[in-house]
Amino acid sequence: MIPEIPRRHFLGASAAAAFSGFLSENVFAQEESPRSDRSSSSQTRCVFGPRRLFPDLKITFSQTGNNVRFFIPGLRVPSKILHLSDTHIFLDDERGKPFERFSARMAAAYHRPTHCRTGKTTNPMAAFEESLDFAKREKVDAVTLTGDILSFPSEAGVDWLLEKLKTLDEAGIPWFFISGNHDWHYEGWPGTDEEKRAEWAPKRLGKLYPENANFLNYSAVVKGIRHLFVDDSIYEILPEQLRFLKAELAHGEPTVLWMHIPPYAPGRNVGFGCGHPEWGKDTDKNWQIERREPWRAGGHTDVTFEFYETLLKAPNLMGTFCGHVHVNALDIVNGKPFTTTEANAAAGWRVVEFLPQETYRRPAGPSPISFLP
């Protein structure tokens, strides 16, 4: 039996204590002080002014290349997040020898991807290090890792990642991980995907999660924005994850959701599979290649569909950020941007900024410029 890896110390702005709720007509959010030791004790200060944000919050979204921006009324402190997904680290060592028949296919994949900006040959490790250098150079406020950072649950791969991520800790940049369908998957290992995730995520990926965080879902507040991390790497949503989503959205803060598999958008294939109406056994083309059980006959559970519908209806959910499909994509669904990010194996990344939205008022006297009242 492989011992469970203890989880790293959870960042201070976790779900439980980040938001004071509606007080009279005010909304307050707490900003955490980044700490390289990832201590749960953090100093906070108000980053929102005394104004009711919801239901009157109107947000502007823009995209230029792989950079997106949200302009948010009432937000006083800007923040910048670097999103990485699908690095597919394939490193292994002697500890992985007993599992080679379960890791061989993915261990041989993504060795020489084409760099998405230079067109030159690269490799996942070099691409990941380049991404961390960019994060430090840009002084981002956090880095999010939304799954398939590993090609299989390699102890050597986790050790390598943690060594590189120390440089973010030293720079005072928090980072957040949620798994994808490869991080925990040994191809051909017996059991359902849910069972395999429950076994291998704690055993091998434990140090990549904040301490005391549930590997299925957790949250953090960064400079007034609530970030939700939900593991949908089996394409399905569990009842406890639906409860988590509803409880987190009830805080009322501007919120974004980070997952591996993107939610369904009309016209997209089943790779955009969370809530996809055609997802199921009949459309599962890769179950034999990946040596796993096929997707559920009859399609998604009612819980998964309710999760998806909750995303569409939540007034304070600004958008979702995912990976899995290895391309930069944007869908506007029910007014919400659903985005995916190019594979980090090819040095892909996305910069997400949350910025104060200025309020213009009509000046005295006639003016050729139209202003909001």
Question: Could you tell me if 290 and 185 are in contact, meaning their C-beta atoms sit under 8 angstroms apart?
Answer: yes
Per residue of the chain (373 residues), give pLDDT as tens. Answer: 443 333 343 333 332 222 222 222 222 233 333 333 443 333 333 344 444 444 455 789 999 999 999 999 989 999 999 999 999 999 999 999 999 999 999 999 999 999 999 999 999 999 999 999 999 999 999 999 999 999 999 999 999 999 999 999 999 999 999 999 999 999 999 999 999 999 999 999 999 999 999 999 999 999 999 999 999 999 999 999 999 999 999 999 999 999 999 999 999 999 999 999 999 999 999 999 999 999 999 999 999 999 999 999 999 999 999 999 999 999 999 999 999 999 999 999 999 999 998 765 555 555 444 445 4
Query: Could you give the CA distance from residue 184 to residue 202 in angstroms, rounded to a whole number?
Result: 9
176 within domain boundaries: yes
1 within domain boundaries: no
Q: Which residues contact 259 (CB under 8 A, 6 or more apart)?
A: 146, 147, 178, 229, 230, 231, 232, 274, 320, 321, 322
Report the CATH number at residue 102: 3.30.750.180
61 within domain boundaries: yes
Query: Could you give the CA distance from residue 314 to residue 352 in angstroms, rounded to a whole number?
Result: 20
163 within domain boundaries: yes
How many domains does the chain divide into?
1
3 within domain boundaries: no
Amino acid at 53: L
Query: Could you give the CA distance from residue 48 to residue 354 in angstroms, rounded to a whole number?
Result: 13
Helices and strands of the chain, counted as H and E runs: 6, 14
116 within domain boundaries: yes
State the Rg of the chain over Cα.
21
324 within domain boundaries: yes
Closest CA to 277 of 261, 264, 267: 264
38 within domain boundaries: no
Closest CA to 269 of 261, 318, 6, 250: 261
Domain that holds residue 47: 15-31+43-355
Backbone angles phi, psi at 317, to 5 degrees: -85, 115
